[in-house]
Structure 1
């Protein structure tokens, strides 16, 4: 279901120049932090991954005292000549050896027992000793609560809003809807009951799906079932744009490039009418808006290596922007809905030439809806396979003096995994005008990459390509491969608020549903045959002319693919018990 990104050879020189500029300017532009409410106690766990002249530092800050609202600041002093060049999950400033990190705009609170994970890249020479002490809002982090704490006015942590009103995070504090149709298919597989109670999204991928196609449950059926389950949230994928999936064929849709009026009146309007029924006002209805759309207008139009005539058409006629803006406006007007706009993945827009323009196009589209607040957040890695974390190297890792960004796999990308990309993209979106309260979702349904082929440590190879290939969790042949990938596994189970800025890990692509057919299969759903789903295909410029890595014997997109589901369970990470 995911459009493969354009070839990246053009980024070799341009990417290196941008990386250098980031390292020079990344720290100098931030303001010195101001302290907010004092805390009564804290713990700071510090670790580094270092090489000859640089290191990546990690700090896990845990508040042991009263809840903090309104902002926090963590400070420390380096004992050597360490100099931070880039930081994330906070606003970093450094004067001499003194470092101050203030909370990001989207995370001003720190409840009792809550933690914040900060990270940074830095350079040094000589030795690299750890800081002796850390302080949170001026109080030393000793790992315990002082007997005599500084005088402070305790604040009350925010409570979860009642159902039927907009929550800051719609996934928090409530259980998700389990699609009984998907559950029945999963339960029919050996061992499937181990995962069948996880919430998955319902894909409304054609007009007929609203009422229920070919005997399947329709939109209202699912909403009624969610009420019967006592679910707090339910997830739908809004996926029927005119000229849909313009850079691939497996998920082409029923509407032609000029069918915007039909999209509005026959698709979005009926969905909005049903979701607005007061009967469902106590459900948090989450709408994932139009997979594989806006990023295609950045990476797959004229002037790009992955250009297609259909993407050029959809950019010229405004069908994607106007269609999505209409969906955001209609669905965003319902008090208990939450629109999450698809934001591709790090292996698609992780290069600077794609990263900023994609964010800008999303802002343009949100503004066209009448209010950027019609967007509650964004989702990355939808129906894709990019690893959530790469534990054995970062984008700052070097091998024998060579950056991993120069490897064939990373190919000058600024990110090596989904979590770092999603958090950075969120920061970018807020910086250009989106509401600071937006959250990110990451689809972890098929990015676990467990099983016997999962690396257990960093490679000791001195060649950068060998090092990356032996160390990476993502075992695909090429990061541009997206269809029914061999060797993939279930990823993190659906979880609310797992990391700063992340509203939830979700299973939006129901595990076991095919990405596309391995061979041509005629159908009445408008779904074409894409060679990227053919395991014998030797690739194209967009995936470096590599094999597709697809599983054989796959049905059309959305149909149940038993062999894939069983492999996903076998390779699950975390493993299934």
Structure 2
């Protein structure tokens, strides 16, 4: 995590040093052959409070690029107090809670070596107005030492030292097994080189299933792909007792009471392998138990969405015990970054779900051996279809005096898309005591919703429903639909630092892997038949009794589904 320090004095000049070339969306590294201690600073950031009064202030910021030329820049920082930017100039300024992002305008994005650019803003505050202690330029954390640009730069983190964002300045691991399947499909070579996660969804997956790659095989291959730079490899830890108590398609091999087997035969071997010193130079991201903890809030008695299995798992506590144990064991490995699953806005975005889920995340992360420092961040929208951004309607809009929240689609939710939800959940979690530098991941593997049916503007203002339905990108029948959705497309490609508070857009659920079978299929994987994967199903309380919207003829969850892959290619947004 980034270090923080106390800074006071409103006229303090903050001259901070970056240790890498500032280039958005690319690997950030020192020039080849240059020793870290002797490298010139890549940039300096001067932040000055020019004028201040009782309730407001004016600041000027100058960014100087001493590294490789860049065509765009993105500067981020967080305030320690309640500062709120009200207007600005020469940069596109956005703020989410304490986090601020300044992006270049169309006319000042280019910064040659030695070039500078300046921007400014007005802001309000009360109490103290400390200068921000830490800045990031294009995802690289600035040096806290404010001694000036003549000071030697800080060495980059070495093996065993965690960085603030494991995705920044790093390549991402391309799973050879998924890549080969994608490349074998018509048009699949367009995305076969994209990074996707490796799912450890049963004990056998640790050593490889049916002759496939083992966990150690993937780590060895990651070392090959890494070369001399940084590389992030992503794994899904997914095998809780009584797994996914509300959806039969992704049930697992362990029964509700098999917590000891989960610990000794699943988590312990994974931890032993990831902790091998051979892999200390990799950045290993673990996404912890998808679709687990939120079920203990939304799908238990007395909710109308309750299931008997979720009542059992809430009563025995094995979800919390399992997640806590995984966080503890994996969090002890210096180069492992744990991200807990936090559902999606169409699941937890309502007031009755949002706060209680955040509280449950904290309780789980501070029990059964775990502590908050074991959690690097959270991930949202894994294996789901919620749109990243809904541009044509906002939660504060109304039509003829009727709020968007009252539309059938939004249905009183506090969020309309995944970006706003992820940023909102992050702010809530930080307020509960999680690290202020907490990072969020958003899975964009199937939420692009492109193709000819993608709206280009708001819907008609005949009613709040025509306004929302005509303008929404997400074309599902209902927000609660989750299985192999018809009309879905690939979303944003994996990338680091896309928005404030977001460590990366990722493809954790590999495109082309089924969400569940459309009919009963005998198997030894513990996976059941969920009617939400049946295109003829008319729904249940969890999707307000709507049609499932699923594609036909789908195989078991995690198995290759060519029709889904083609659907995602066809409707990709951004287009391929």
SS in 2 for 1:423: helix
Contact 2:487 2:567 in 1 (8 A): yes
**1:305 and 2:329 equivalent?**
no
Shift in Å at residue 109 of structure 1? Answer: 3.7
- Report the equivalent of 1:171: 167
Contact 1:37 1:71 in 2 (8 A): no
- Report the equivalent of 1:194: 190
Distance 1:494 1:408, change over 3 A: same
TM-score, with structure 1 as normaliser: 0.78
Shift in Å at residue 162 of structure 1? Answer: 3.2
Distance 1:279 1:456, change over 3 A: same
**1:100 and 2:124 equivalent?**
yes
Contact 2:76 2:99 in 1 (8 A): no
Shift in Å at residue 112 of structure 1? Answer: 5.9
Contact 1:90 1:101 in 2 (8 A): no
SS in 2 for 1:339: strand
Contact 2:484 2:516 in 1 (8 A): yes
Shift in Å at residue 560 of structure 1? Answer: 0.3
- For 1:6-52, what per-residue CA distance to the aligned partner results, in whole angstroms no more than 9, with x for missing partners? xxxxxxxxxxxxxxxxxxxxxxxxxxx9676467589xxxxxxxxxx
In structure 1, C-alpha distance between the alignment counterparts of 2:521 and 2:11, rounded to whole Å: 62
SS in 1 for 2:172: coil
- Report the equivalent of 1:213: 209
- Report the equivalent of 1:515: 515
- Report the equivalent of 2:562: 562
Contact 1:520 1:528 in 2 (8 A): yes
In structure 1, C-alpha distance between the alignment counterparts of 2:323 and 2:508, rounded to whole Å: 19
SS in 2 for 1:316: helix
SS in 2 for 1:294: coil
- The within-5 A match list for 1:104-253 is 109-111=134-136, 160-230=156-226, 232-253=231-252
Shift in Å at residue 160 of structure 1? Answer: 4.6
SS in 1 for 2:338: strand
- Report the equivalent of 1:289: 288
Distance 1:63 1:414, change over 3 A: farther
- Report the equivalent of 1:458: 458
- For 1:421-458, what per-residue CA distance to the aligned partner results, in whole angstroms no more than 9, with x for missing partners? 00110010010111112100000000000000100011
Shift in Å at residue 215 of structure 1? Answer: 1.2
- Report the equivalent of 1:262: 261
Contact 2:233 2:283 in 1 (8 A): yes
In structure 2, C-alpha distance between the alignment counterparts of 1:358 and 1:433, rounded to whole Å: 14
In the alignment, structure 2 segments of 5+ residues that lack a partner are 1-8, 15-44, 49-59, 66-74, 89-93, 101-121, 141-145
In structure 1, C-alpha distance between the alignment counterparts of 2:454 and 2:217, rounded to whole Å: 40
SS in 1 for 2:423: helix
In structure 2, C-alpha distance between the alignment counterparts of 1:508 and 1:314, rounded to whole Å: 25
Shift in Å at residue 461 of structure 1? Answer: 2.5
In structure 2, C-alpha distance between the alignment counterparts of 1:259 and 1:519, rounded to whole Å: 28
In structure 2, C-alpha distance between the alignment counterparts of 1:35 and 1:391, rounded to whole Å: 39
Contact 2:96 2:500 in 1 (8 A): no
Q: Which moved more, 1:381-390 or 1:231-240?
A: 231-240
Shift in Å at residue 304 of structure 1? Answer: 1.0
- Report the equivalent of 2:327: 328
How many residues get paired? Answer: 481
SS in 1 for 2:366: helix
The alignment's C-alpha RMSD in Å is 3.1
- Report the equivalent of 1:443: 443
- Structure of greater relative contact order (alpha carbons < 8 Å, 6+ residues apart): 1
Shift in Å at residue 108 of structure 1? Answer: 5.6
- The within-5 A match list for 1:324-403 is 324-368=323-367, 369-403=369-403
In structure 2, C-alpha distance between the alignment counterparts of 1:108 and 1:249, rounded to whole Å: 48
Contact 1:537 1:548 in 2 (8 A): yes
SS in 2 for 1:474: coil
- For 1:206-259, what per-residue CA distance to the aligned partner results, in whole angstroms no more than 9, with x for missing partners? 000001111111111111111111261111100000000001100000000000
